Amino acid sequence: MGERMTLLATRAQKVAVVGACLALAVTACGGSSKSSNSSGPTGKKGGTLFLINDADFDHLDPQRTYVSNSLNFTERFMNRTLVTYKSVPGPSGSELVPDMATDLGRASDNNKTWKFTFKDNLKWQDGSPVTCADFKYGVSRGFATGVITDGPTYAFADLKLDLKADGTPVYGGPYVAGSNGGFDNAVQCTDPKNIVFHLAKPIGDFNYTLSLPEFAAVPQAKDTKAQYDNTVFSDGPYKIETYSRSKQLTLVRNSNWDPKTDNVRKAFPDKIVVKMGADPNVIDTQFISDTGDAKTGIMNATNVQPQDLDRVLNDASLKKRAVNGFDGFALYIAINTSKVKNLKVRQALAYAMNLETFRGAYGGKEYGDYARGIITPALKSHKDFDVFGIKKSPTGDPAKAKQLLTEAGVKTPYPIKFDVRNRPATVKAAAAAKEALERNGNFAVTLNPLPVGPYYGLIGKKATQSDISGGGWGPDWPNGSAVIPPLFGGNLSTVDGSTNYSQLKDPKIDSLIDAATSETDLTKQAKLWGGLDEAVVQDAAAIPTIWTKTTQMYGSGVKGAFLHSFYGEIDVNALSVA
């Protein structure tokens, strides 16, 4: 264990954090995207597309980008990767296609070696060629953790590197002199046309990881280190013209991008303008009234707020300018198994929950479906089980809950402290849970609202985490391997900052996780993850609550908007405004 796992967890957590807060998730494959308005690849060139956002992007530096709307933006407009997601509505949006590589990679050595071949005529915005060295340099930047912060750390966890005694890589990135720590062997430019990754362990779906811009190219000569967020050097269809942080970002066409090398990006608008800083409620109003920049703009960082949902989805003139569908996220309540040790008490909590009032607090049916597992139905790893009888009675089973508490032989009312992220709807949902647990079971619940920003850091402190904590999870790629190990892996149970918010350390679960990870047949692997999902819910390490949906609007001047199943938001790629 040690630092590697910590970093791995931090990465996974970050997506969850941001996704949960905006309900716009990095998702695997949101199955039932209901978008009707997908005019496909046909669109006219020209015009200016506006993105109306409440805040600045967290990062645009590819190695630091890790929030869904930033990923969507940078991957589609400026930073190409070896492989990327299809730009189509529906579940196939989560399928990989080659981007700068000619295929999806060729694995050998029991999935421990992955080889990719570059396309021809790949160019930077100044016309110089994109080389294998640029890719290797890009990956190396992620190791400079003092400078390149907040990004994913798959490179740390997956590549075959020399490790220090504490499990962290010896390699410290390109900005410090010293040992290369095996990095040169882990990422090899065998010849100018090929790049090879050597992994520490077999990973059957490693190419999904490579779709993250953590593995995008950066030319060493243009690297401005911590300032690279502002000066991103583009190999995509657009490049930065002006960037006034937290106010406005303007992109213009990159004349050196060759559409013949790119079968994903459409690049219809001449200009992309991102406006930042409006209140989410105000953004709703702008799109509902369809005026100003919103007329040729889309929602990107926010989604339709609960109070406007019903209006937008039931007024035909508004609904035709909205996308609505599952965003790949599962909300759940983690039960801290180091504090609530008694299995019967944990099960009583689950039976006492009232999902109807809980989901009601978020806005009811339009906010999502009642969840029965942490792996959403959109994933191939999903297994359809119903441990706590949600299908029959989403309002809970008071008799069963009370009976389990009696059997457990604990003093009642059983005190429960509940960590809640201090957002209006989230706290209301927690109040609903409190009422249900006290009414249906014999619990005495105290809500513990924690600040929104550092929430996941606070509940990640294993010693001070409360009895139960609210959370949300969207996987980094469409497989159970991006859900079960980070949330329930025993190796993370005592690591501060890790995403194992159930603090679960169950040898039976851990051996099943090991078996699933090393399974090279992905279909078989998916089955194993589904079984694990059911096992952790039976163990009541978490109470799944909602598989969430998202709703976003776009202006009447925008064509080609659809909900992308991986990004869980409008795909910025296929839009046209002319």
Instruction: By CB under 8 A, name the binding residues for other proteins.
Output: 281, 305-311, 314, 354, 356-357, 359-366, 395, 420, 422, 424-425, 427-428, 430-432, 434-436, 446-447, 449-452, 458
Q: What are phi and psi of 331, to 5 degrees?
A: -85, 145
**CA proximity to 536, closest of 519, 514, 516, 512:** 512
Residues β-bridged to residue 276: 53
* Cα dihedral across residues 345, 350, 356, 358: positive or negative: positive
- Output the smallest distance, CB 394 to other proteins, in A: 10
CB 422 within 8 A of CB 448: no
Nearer CB in complex with other proteins: 205/438: 438
Nearer CB in complex with other proteins: 262/284: 284
Nearer CB in complex with other proteins: 51/355: 355
- Output the smallest distance, CB 310 to other proteins, in A: 3
Nearer CB in complex with other proteins: 110/289: 289
Token pair recorded at residue 234:
């583009």
- Output the smallest distance, CB 66 to other proteins, in A: 25
CA distance linking residue 321 with residue 556, whole number of Å: 7
Q: Give me the half-sphere count of Cα atoms (radius 13 Å) on the Cβ side of residue 257.
A: 24
- Output the smallest distance, CB 54 to other proteins, in A: 14
DSSP string, 315-374: -HHHHTTEEEEEEEEEEEEEE-TTTS--HHHHHHHHHH--HHHHHHHHTGGGGEEE-SSS
Q: How many CB atoms lie within 10 A of CB 315?
A: 12
- Output the smallest distance, CB 316 to other proteins, in A: 15
CA distance linking residue 68 with residue 570, whole number of Å: 11
**CA proximity to 300, closest of 274, 264, 330, 271:** 274
Nearer CB in complex with other proteins: 201/311: 311
- Output the smallest distance, CB 355 to other proteins, in A: 11
Nearer CB in complex with other proteins: 139/445: 445
Nearer CB in complex with other proteins: 363/490: 363
| β-sheet with 322-335: strand ranges across | 368-370, 542-553, 322-335, 468-473, 414-421, 443-450
The C-alpha torsion from 495 through 209 and 225 to 52, rounded to 10°, is -100
CA distance linking residue 213 with residue 203, whole number of Å: 19
DSSP-derived secondary structure letter, 222? G
Token pair recorded at residue 71:
């990923």
Please return the burial class of 189, using the count of CB atoms within 10 Å of its CB with bins 0-12, 13-18 and 19+.
middle
Nearer CB in complex with other proteins: 167/449: 449
CA dist 541 to 20, 45, 296, 340, 544, Å? 20, 52, 46, 9, 10
- Output the smallest distance, CB 376 to other proteins, in A: 20
Nearer CB in complex with other proteins: 306/560: 306
What is the H or E stretch that residue 273 is in? strand 271-276
- Output the smallest distance, CB 353 to other proteins, in A: 13
Nearer CB in complex with other proteins: 167/457: 457
- Output the smallest distance, CB 281 to other proteins, in A: 5
Nearer CB in complex with other proteins: 146/451: 451
HEC letters along 99-110: CCECCCCEEECC
The C-alpha torsion from 33 through 37 and 38 to 39, rounded to 10°, is 170
- Output the smallest distance, CB 543 to other proteins, in A: 18
HEC letters along 45-62: CCCEEEEEECCCCCCCCH
CA distance linking residue 574 with residue 384, whole number of Å: 34
- Output the smallest distance, CB 314 to other proteins, in A: 7
Angle at 381 between CA 377 and CA 383, to 5 degrees: 60
- Output the smallest distance, CB 76 to other proteins, in A: 31
Q: Give me the half-sphere count of Cα atoms (radius 13 Å) on the Cβ side of residue 203.
A: 25
Nearer CB in complex with other proteins: 431/578: 431
Nearer CB in complex with other proteins: 44/461: 461
- Output the smallest distance, CB 175 to other proteins, in A: 32
Nearer CB in complex with other proteins: 107/430: 430
- Output the smallest distance, CB 74 to other proteins, in A: 31
